Amino acid sequence: MIPIQTDTGQAAQPVSIAINPVASYCVLDIETGHASQDVIDAAVGRWKPAPNVTKPETIEAQRKKAAVKIAEKSALLDGSPIICVVAAMPYRATLFNGADGKDYQIPGAGFAEMMACADSGINLERNMLIALRHWAAAVLSAETILVGHNLIGFDLPRLRAAYLRHRLLMPQFLNPIRAEGPQPVFDTMREFPRYFTADRHGEKFISLAEVADRLGIPQAKEIVSGADVPDLHAAGKIKEILTYCLVDVLATRAIYLLLSGQDGPPVSSWPARHTEEPTVSDLLKGTDIPPVGYEQCDLNTPDLTPEQQKMTATITHSVGCAAPPPAPDQSDQLAAGLQETALIDAQAEEFCQAMEQAGDGLTLLRLVERAEGDALLKKSPMAMFRVSEAAAIARERVK
């Protein structure tokens, strides 16, 4: 049971929100880290010059330039590690942490459920993929619409490549040739230029930030951008990555609801994951699922010969993900960073609680003004998302 605010700002009678285990839509986003040197070298080895370039010195110069560019953008390669997957459905968000397996509490996101993929001696990314498949089988149907920004060109193929790399059975929602036909997809990067703009009509690429800005939807790109994620991963800032990815998913969800002519409540009205509403973990309880991390051979294939095992090990190594080298001892700097993070989290949680308790638009506007001048809050993507959301709600209430 959660309180719903009326248009006048007065609290209405509490209502019960029934969460259907099968989602009508699912907004997906992934984040990736720097690829290992093996993956980068393999990509450079596959590089080919243009057919009209024949001089050896020109080819070599272009190869070196291409190698630098490939290394800089290595997080986009198929073999780079998937750090996390975040999915949002009506009234629920689920975060799959494949980076360090920890269950982080994100301030202002009590509605989000963390699926921490604890390491059992096997690659964390592999554990995450197994957990994602079992989760999808429980909450997605053949009719669930997959939603994302550049979902068709990046997130879905990267997920498929990861399942292949780990020799894991692919979830049905990723299977492009299943009997029921491919999963329905709404890619905001394709649909917005196609139907909702004249000055960018027909263009193949438009950023999520631009679409959100055109529609007046809150985002956190000014705090963290996708280009920052690989370096954040290398620095061990996993909570920041999960928060950024969740904010991106919530922005994409808002865009989808607008473009598809649907209505959806603000995130502030979503039930917390500790309420009586069922969580994904509840849905998975009692099902016949092997413990995450112990799925040794996930494909229904005969035993491999020694030669095939050797080949598989070689392939896995060649596209595997090396862990970032350990950072030098910076204990004082780390302690200061942890202290600041704790202060940011406390400030963000305090603001989000105050926002949810505000009964009228003027009170909410004062909270927004205070938050926009708070230096600590400005470092929290989730807090800034909630501030923008609160500002929009406040403007509606004081009309």
Q: Indicate whether 12 belongs to any domain.
A: no
Q: Locate all alpha helices (DSSP H) within 177-330, ordered by sequence.
A: 188-195, 208-215, 229-234, 238-259, 280-284, 306-318
Q: Are residues 237 and 334 in the same domain?
A: no
Pairing of strands 185-187, 145-148: parallel
21-25, 74-78, 179-183, 304-308: least confidently modelled range = 304-308
Q: How far apart are CA 107 and CA 267, in angstroms?
A: 13
Q: Indicate whether 59 belongs to any domain.
A: no
Q: Are residues 246 and 350 in the same domain?
A: no
More confident residue, 135 or 280: 135
- Please tell me the pTM assigned to this model: 0.73
Query: Residue 157 corresponds to which amino acid?
Result: P
Decide if pLDDT at 310 tops 70: no
Which residue's entry shows tokens 């090396």? 322
Q: Are residues 127 and 265 in the same domain?
A: yes
Q: Indicate whether 279 belongs to any domain.
A: yes
Q: Are residues 223 and 366 in the same domain?
A: no
Name the token pair of 95.
């975060």
Q: Are residues 242 and 335 in the same domain?
A: no
pLDDT score, position 122: 52
Burial bucket for residue 26 (CB in 10 Å: 0-12, 13-18, 19+):
buried
Q: Are residues 243 and 379 in the same domain?
A: no
**Which of 308, 327, 346 is where one domain is finished?**
327
What percent of the chain shows pLDDT beyond 70?
Answer: 68
pLDDT score, position 34: 93
**Which of 295, 327, 359 is where one domain is finished?**
327
The average pLDDT across 281-307 equals 44
Q: Are residues 309 and 337 in the same domain?
A: no
Q: Per residue in 164-190, pLDDT tens? A: 999 999 999 999 888 778 899 999 999
Which domain, by its residues, includes 280? 25-35+77-327
Residue 290 φ/ψ, nearest 5 degrees: -65, 150
**Which of 288, 310, 327 is where one domain is finished?**
327
Nearest 5 degrees, angle CA 298-CA 300-CA 306?
Answer: 80
Q: Indicate whether 169 belongs to any domain.
A: yes
Q: Indicate whether 43 belongs to any domain.
A: no
Q: Per residue in 336-384, pLDDT tens? A: 555 666 676 677 777 777 777 777 777 777 777 777 777 766 667 677 7
Count of domains in the chain? 2
Q: Indicate whether 1 belongs to any domain.
A: no
pLDDT score, position 5: 33
The average pLDDT across 218-236 equals 78
Q: Per residue in 84-108, pLDDT tens? A: 999 998 878 899 998 887 888 887 7
Q: Are residues 266 and 162 in the same domain?
A: yes
